[in-house]
Amino acid sequence: MANVRLEDIKRRFNNVTAIEDITFEIPDGEFWVLVGPSGCGKSTILRTIAGLETATSGKLYIGDRLVNNIPARQRDVAMVFQNYALYPHMSVAENIGFGLQMRKVDRKIIQERVMNVARSLSLDHLLDRKPKQLSGGQQQRVALGRAIAREPQVFLLDEPLSNLDAQLRDDTRAELKQLHQELGITTIYVTHDQVEAMTLADKIVVLNRGRIQQIGDPQTIYASPANQMVATFLGSPPMNILPVIYENNGFDVSGQLLTIPAVVKEKLQLRQGHSYDLGIRPEHIFINEPPTRQEANESQLIVEVKVVEPLGRETLIRAGLPGSAVVLNIQVGGDVRPRPGDRLSLQLDLNQLFVFD
Ligand code: ADP
């Protein structure tokens, strides 16, 4: 096992800078997730650590060793891809043991280790099968098994669950987390899926356009996003963003005044006459009963329901501000079921507002 340190890594392809200013250190044994939209540079970072890509500049350390010029196979890392890449003519056991066989490990030891790995991944009853006789989830577990059997210092996983269907993806995600708790191998996991990032990570690195936006544990990033990109990327449904102007001690939200108490004004450092993007998460909006607009100093917004999505435990509501194109996502209890066309009076939790310039 080892820590992994990137110092000011940059990678350019011809004239295109894929990643730059990439600096972080993953302590030994932690599970870090690189997350961001497609094309933000996640795979390039992972492939650079693996040695499948060379950094244009910057330093990369695995443990105490500077590895910029060390070939991939000598870095003692194991990488798992989304398309499994199993050997079709080999059995499950041969696939899992392949890396060991290449290193001329004793046959007895290979057998033992393959058995242990297969057991921990619930593959022990499938050892004689060929990959095409396995489900997608089983194939992905074999690919993981092959990586684990090598006992690498670092695990690199590139969207390993994206080819699995929803239920299997959830199950395998939980298994991965358990596996990491058992093995404690330093793991770097790439995904565009914010749920995977939130649930798996000790630390999340949010990337956009080749640059780091924020590094932190999931709760901190969710509660204190560094900028609007991070705020809207993590969270499902995403944070609502409303274009507003701050004036008369409140926000003008498409013609409705949302009164803001002085303490909140101080906290958010609001300036009169200034335009902002106001952020509020769907779970921090509540429905007032009865739905009427009351005293002017109350912070309410009147909206018209457009779409209602009952999800059992909760209901998602999409509602529009009258006379504007702005649509709000609202997340309420499953027993709340307004109908399209209803007018609702909303209460926003003013302690949970974000403003972005
Ligand atoms: P992600 O994994 O987040 O989807 P990538 O790391 O694959 O992003 O790509 C980051 C950027 O680098 C993209 O703009 C992509 O087009 C570019 N890129 C990646 N690999 C190459 C390559 N081999 N040649 C040219 N451009 C590349």
Residue 295 has pLDDT above 70, yes or no: no
Most confident region among 133-147, 168-182, 197-211 by mean pLDDT: 197-211
Q: Which pLDDT band holds residue 180 (cuts at 50, 70, 90)?
A: very high
Q: What's the pLDDT score for residue 335?
A: 93
0.80 exceeded by pTM: yes
Cα-to-centroid distance, 155 and ligand 1 (Å): 21
List beta partners, residue 300. Answer: 347
Judge whether 251 and 275 are in contact, CB under 8 Å.
no
Q: What's the pLDDT score for residue 168?
A: 83
The best mutation among 19, 43, 188 to test binding of ligand 1, ranked by most ligand atoms within 8 Å of the C-beta, falls on 43
By DSSP bridging, strand 77-80 and strand 154-158 are parallel
Longest C-alpha distance within the chain, in Å?
Answer: 80
Q: What's the pLDDT score for residue 34?
A: 98
Q: Where does ligand 1 bind, in terms of residues with CB under 6 Å?
A: 13, 16, 18, 36, 38-44
**Is residue 237 reached through a cis peptide bond, with omega within 30 degrees of 0 on the bond before it?**
yes
Cα–Cα distance measured from residue 303 to residue 305, given in angstroms and rounded to the nearest whole number: 7
Pinpoint the alpha helices (H) of the chain. 42-50, 92-102, 107-120, 136-149, 166-183, 194-200, 218-223, 228-233, 262-268
Cα–Cα distance measured from residue 105 to residue 97, given in angstroms and rounded to the nearest whole number: 10
* Ligand 1 atom closest to Cα of residue 43: 2
Cα-to-centroid distance, 35 and ligand 1 (Å): 14
DSSP-derived letter for residue 289 is S
* Ligand 1 atom closest to Cα of residue 36: 3
The pLDDT of 80-104, averaged and rounded, is: 89
Residue 325 has pLDDT above 60, yes or no: yes
Residue 12 has pLDDT above 50, yes or no: yes
* Ligand 1 atom closest to Cα of residue 45: 6
Choose among 75, 214, 97: nearest CA to 156. 75
Q: What's the pLDDT score for residue 292?
A: 52
Task: Indicate the average pLDDT of the chain.
Answer: 92
Residue 106 has pLDDT above 70, yes or no: yes
* Ligand 1 atom closest to Cα of residue 41: 6
List beta partners, residue 331. Answer: 316
For residue 16, what are the contacts with CB-CB under 8 A and spacing of at least 6?
A: none
Which range, of 50-54, 121-125, 128-132, 227-231, averages the lowest pLDDT? Answer: 121-125
Q: Which pLDDT band holds residue 294 (cuts at 50, 70, 90)?
A: low
Task: Summarize pLDDT for 116-126 with one digit per residue, the tens.
Answer: 999 888 899 99
Beta strand segments in the chain, E = 4-13, 16-26, 31-35, 57-62, 65-66, 77-80, 154-158, 186-191, 203-208, 211-216, 240-247, 250-253, 256-259, 274-280, 285-288, 300-310, 314-320, 327-333, 343-348, 354-356
Cα–Cα distance measured from residue 149 to residue 21, given in angstroms and rounded to the nearest whole number: 34
Residue 331 has pLDDT above 50, yes or no: yes
Cα–Cα distance measured from residue 2 to residue 186, given in angstroms and rounded to the nearest whole number: 7
Domains detected in the chain = 4-233 (3.40.50.300), 240-356 (2.40.50.140)
Choose among 157, 19, 6: nearest CA to 77. 157
The best mutation among 10, 13, 15 to test binding of ligand 1, ranked by most ligand atoms within 8 Å of the C-beta, falls on 13
* Tokens representing residue 335 in the block: 């027993």
Residue 130 has pLDDT above 70, yes or no: yes
Task: Summarize pLDDT for 144-171 with one digit per residue, the tens.
Answer: 899 889 889 999 999 988 888 888 888 8
